[in-house]
Amino acid sequence: MLSNTGITLVILTTLLSITVIYKSFVDLHIKNNLVNQKILNLVTFQTTFSILSFIVLIVAFVISDFSLVNVYENSHTKKPLFYKISGAWGSHEGSLLLWINILVIFSFLFLVFTKHNNKSYLLYTLIFQNFLILGFLIFLLINSNPFSKIYPIPIEGLGLNPILQDPALAIHPPLLYIGFVGSSIYFSAGIASLISNCRDKFFAKSIKPWVLISWSFQTLGITAGSIWAYYELGWGGFWFWDPVENASLMPWFVITALMHSVIVLEKRNSIYSWVIILCLLTFTISVTGTFLVRSGILNSVHTFANDPSRGLYILIFLSLMIFLALIVFFRYSKKEEYNFLLKSKETLILANNWFMFFFLTAVMIGTLYPIILEVLNNTKISVGPPFYSAVIFPFVIPFLIFMALGPKINWIKNKYKEFLSNFLILIAAIILNFLIYFLLGKYSIISNLIIISSIFLIIHSVKDLLTFFKNKTVSDISRIISHLGFGMLILFIGISHNFTTENDFNLKVGEKKKFSVYQINFNSIQMENEKNYKKIVGEFRLINLKSNFEEILYPEIRIYEQPETLTYEASIKTKLSSDIYLTMSNISRSDYYNIKFQKKPFMIWIWISAILIASGGFIRLIKIKTR
């Protein structure tokens, strides 16, 4: 029943996409300024049917309808309700249906909320967006149908991968997909802008809210995934330069560059072609990341789909999309001349964009080079943190300084008179850096320069924030909050990277271990039963020998039956100043457990900083909507 209902709704959505494309082409030849009401009705039905198809899939997971292959392979009756619901997008098929839903919803919202007097621009945007929708719907129907049946109907399901059964990872895909797939609407709008000759500040204003939405949600999505990796994988880190992590980070660099470029286009009516290129590139890189993940080319703890046929379809679709975009761009783009003075806001924004492209290139090389090398000579290598640290970190220093100085500079030309103020802020940053060094006792030239430049940006942002609250002379509060968050993020990542305390050792129950200023007592171990797994819980007493402060920590080893899997859950004591992080794992055929202890300074501030960055985008979006 649910299978037939779901597939019927998907087919109806497909037919409506075709109809929307046809009706939009027809309406282009009607000489008036308003989009035909029938098109809006069609898009409304299309959105309704698409959302209903996803609701049907969620219901199938909630009631454990194992007549669907997707439910059978990714759920079981003992799974908690929250993870049954999140299982709807925890598989390839379900996540693809979610992807299509976001494409459709953004198409509907753009048509409804874009206040624009250029009818052809709106219709062309709708046409190209529906070509994207149609392409992914065909992919779903021929290769990745979430409503495929299985017979005979199994009594029990196989279950969702236990490491995906986590609140942070449950919300991670929807947040990230709004960022990824949301970029499709300004991909379509960019092509439509070229064809309809709707350019300059009118185009900038029409896409600005959608750029902010996708950027803000992608920032939150990356943050949620980072938090999950920190406490779920048991490695004690929050970013590992894993290929799939990189696939989510690469579009973020481009969206960030686009967000700043749209401001130049809106304020100065300039760099239109640059904005179009970024619009096209953002969604292209998003689909490229999807191709790498779904094809099985990338080997990662995050990869959940390994099917070359899926990868081939996405590669063909991606190639056609890029080919069409390039044809339209070179056919309709016009030559522009930029006459920006060196000391102008436009120049610094473009400089920051080039930094973003450098970071994008470095991450792309680190991600794709091992794949290319394996294809060429069957040599397997991995590119890890040392590569990214050596290539990216030195360029973070001038990037942070430009972020601090750029907002102080005027449009067109500038008479900059804040040299004394900046010199004093730089001195304050250097003093604070040395204070950090003397308190924590480690030194690295690059790390300390990064810390100094991040403090430089923080002080500038705090100064602007105080000015805003004092006399409201600074209007761009969203920029202040995002830049403050970014400076804090880099600062606390630098401190955590350089000053984390780690110790790895083996213990039996009843033993103790002394190291540095700490002593760990392995008090006891016990087995407990939960709804869908068993867990071995260790009790550890951590004693600070210097202050006599004590903590009780309870790391776990979880044993899942559906499917049979072991996971290791860290015990984390979080404070504003630091995290105490402890994991345990059994050493095969012995009474010993491997214990990993870490003390990580200011970890919670990394998450707070990332949320601040995203908050700036939401605040700017609210400002746009209230105008």
pLDDT digits 0-9 by tens, 351-395: 888 999 999 999 999 988 887 887 778 777 778 888 998 899 999
C-beta of residue 573 within 8 angstroms of C-beta of residue 549: no
| pLDDT in the model for residue 155 | 87
Distances (CA, A) of 595 to 238, 581, 590: 19, 10, 14
Q: Is 527 exposed, middle or buried (0-12, 13-18, 19+ CB in 10 A)?
A: exposed
Q: Is 430 exposed, middle or buried (0-12, 13-18, 19+ CB in 10 A)?
A: middle
Name the least confident of 52-56, 235-239, 453-457.
Answer: 235-239
Task: Measure the CA–CA gap between 461 and 489, rounded to whole angstroms.
Answer: 13
In terms of Cα–Cα distance, which of 571, 436, 572 is closest to 492?
436
For the chain, give percent helix, strand, coil, nearest 5.
65, 10, 25
In terms of Cα–Cα distance, which of 350, 173, 226 is closest to 277?
350
Asked whether the predicted pLDDT for residue 305 surpasses 60, the reply is no
Q: Please name the helix (run of DSSP H) or strand (run of DSSP E) that holds residue 123, with its range, or none.
A: helix 119-143
Asked whether the predicted pLDDT for residue 564 surpasses 80, the reply is no
Q: Mark residue 306 as left, alpha or beta (left: phi above 0; alpha: psi -120 to 50; beta: remaining).
A: beta
Cβ atoms within 10 A of the Cβ of 518, count?
18
Give the 3-state secondary structure of residue 36.
coil
* CA angle (408 as vertex; 405, 412 as ends), nearest 5: 105
Residue-wise pLDDT for 575-585, tens only, equals 999 999 999 98
Asked whether the predicted pLDDT for residue 4 surpasses 50, the reply is yes
Asked whether the predicted pLDDT for residue 303 surpasses 50, the reply is no
Confidence of residue 554 (pLDDT cuts 50, 70, 90): very high
Task: Measure the CA–CA gap between 248 and 221, rounded to whole angstroms.
Answer: 9
Max mean pLDDT range (7-11, 348-352, 549-553, 584-588): 7-11
Confidence of residue 47 (pLDDT cuts 50, 70, 90): very high
In terms of Cα–Cα distance, which of 390, 608, 360, 404 is closest to 493?
608
Task: Measure the CA–CA gap between 392 and 390, rounded to whole angstroms.
Answer: 6
Distances (CA, A) of 514 to 369, 535, 544: 43, 27, 10
| pLDDT in the model for residue 440 | 57
Confidence of residue 425 (pLDDT cuts 50, 70, 90): confident
Quick check: bond before 563 cis, omega within 30? yes
Q: To the nearest 10°, the Cα dihedral for 97, 103, 105, 107?
A: -150
Confidence of residue 157 (pLDDT cuts 50, 70, 90): confident
C-beta of residue 573 within 8 angstroms of C-beta of residue 467: no
Q: To the nearest 10°, the Cα dihedral for 296, 299, 305, 308?
A: 10
| pLDDT in the model for residue 301 | 47
Asked whether the predicted pLDDT for residue 302 surpasses 50, the reply is no
Q: Is 377 exposed, middle or buried (0-12, 13-18, 19+ CB in 10 A)?
A: exposed
Confidence of residue 288 (pLDDT cuts 50, 70, 90): confident
| Residue 84 backbone phi and psi in degrees, to 5 | -65, -45
Distances (CA, A) of 263 to 133, 223, 255, 407: 29, 25, 13, 12
pTM (two decimals): 0.91
Which contacts of 47-53 are long-range, i.e. CB under 8 A and separated by 24 or more positions?
47/104, 47/105, 47/107, 47/108, 49/9, 49/12, 49/13, 49/16, 50/9, 50/13, 50/100, 50/101, 50/104, 50/105, 51/101, 51/104, 51/105, 52/9, 53/6, 53/9, 53/10, 53/13, 53/97, 53/101
Q: Please name the helix (run of DSSP H) or strand (run of DSSP E) that holds residue 113, with its range, or none.
A: helix 92-113
Greatest alpha-carbon pair distance for the chain in Å reads 85
- What letters, b where the CB count within 10 A reaches 16 and e where it falls short, cover 9-37? bbebbbebbebbbebbeebeeeeeeebbe
| pLDDT in the model for residue 136 | 94
Name the least confident of 100-104, 167-171, 231-235, 564-568.
Answer: 231-235
Q: Please name the helix (run of DSSP H) or strand (run of DSSP E) that holds residue 550, with its range, or none.
A: strand 550-553
As given in the structure block, the two tokens for residue 308 are 């070359």
Which residue ranges make up each domain of the chain? 1-160, 166-416, 501-604
Q: What is the number of residues in the chain? A: 627
Residue-wise pLDDT for 226-260, tens only, equals 988 888 776 667 888 888 888 889 999 999 999 99
Contacts of 501 (CB under 8 A, 6+ apart): 516, 597, 598, 599
Asked whether the predicted pLDDT for residue 587 surpasses 60, the reply is yes
Name the least confident of 109-123, 206-220, 412-426, 474-488.
Answer: 412-426
Q: Please name the helix (run of DSSP H) or strand (run of DSSP E) that holds residue 559, with its range, or none.
A: strand 556-561
| pLDDT in the model for residue 22 | 96
As given in the structure block, the two tokens for residue 571 are 């015990």
Percent of the residues in the chain that have a pLDDT greater than 70, as a whole number: 90
At 616, the amino acid letter reads G
Asked whether the predicted pLDDT for residue 625 surpasses 90, the reply is no
Asked whether the predicted pLDDT for residue 120 surpasses 80, the reply is yes
